[in-house]
């Protein structure tokens, strides 16, 4: 199994301190983010849904709630006791790669079986 990331511009390695609250913000660009380690809590300002992302092989998302497509963006908090390591990979020309939407909302554990 492989995942084609499409054309990318560059990649950025981030070390986020333990218990950091990133607040409400938009994604700065259309991008993949792979949390290699740590824990991230996503919230939406106008919904009750949330997502918990744990670093590792299932820790990758695609962020496309940029200011041109989302008024409010999302909230991020890093509540763990250890720093969180992330690799950010923006797409070339701020494009969304071909994909299939499985359902609304965050992936559940059963969506990840076999990945």
Reported CATH class of domain 12-96: mainly beta
The CA distance from 16 to 6, in Å, is: 26
Residue 64's Cα: distance from chain center in Å? 9
The 3 state secondary structure assigned to 27-43 is CCCCEEEEEEECEEEEE
Q: What is the pLDDT of residues 67-84, one digit of tens each?
A: 998 889 999 999 999 999
Going from N- to C-terminal start, the domains of the chain cover 12-96
Q: What is the pLDDT of residues 23-79, one digit of tens each?
A: 999 999 999 999 999 999 999 888 787 889 999 988 988 898 999 988 899 999 999
- Show the CA angle centred on residue 100, arms to residues 48 and 97, nearest 5°: 100
């Amino acid at each position: 199994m492989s995942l084609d990331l499409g054309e990318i511009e560059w990649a950025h390695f981030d070390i986020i301190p333990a218990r950091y609250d990133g607040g409400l913000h938009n994604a700065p660009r259309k991008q993949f983010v792979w949390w290699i380690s740590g824990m991230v809590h996503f919230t939406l300002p106008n919904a009750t849904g949330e997502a918990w992302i744990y670093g590792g092989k299932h820790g990758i998302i695609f962020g496309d709630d940029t200011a041109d497509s989302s008024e409010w963006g999302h909230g991020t908090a890093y509540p763990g006791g250890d720093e969180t390591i992330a690799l950010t990979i923006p797409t070339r020309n701020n494009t969304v790669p071909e994909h299939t939407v499985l359902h609304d909302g965050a992936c559940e554990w059963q969506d990840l079986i076999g990945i």
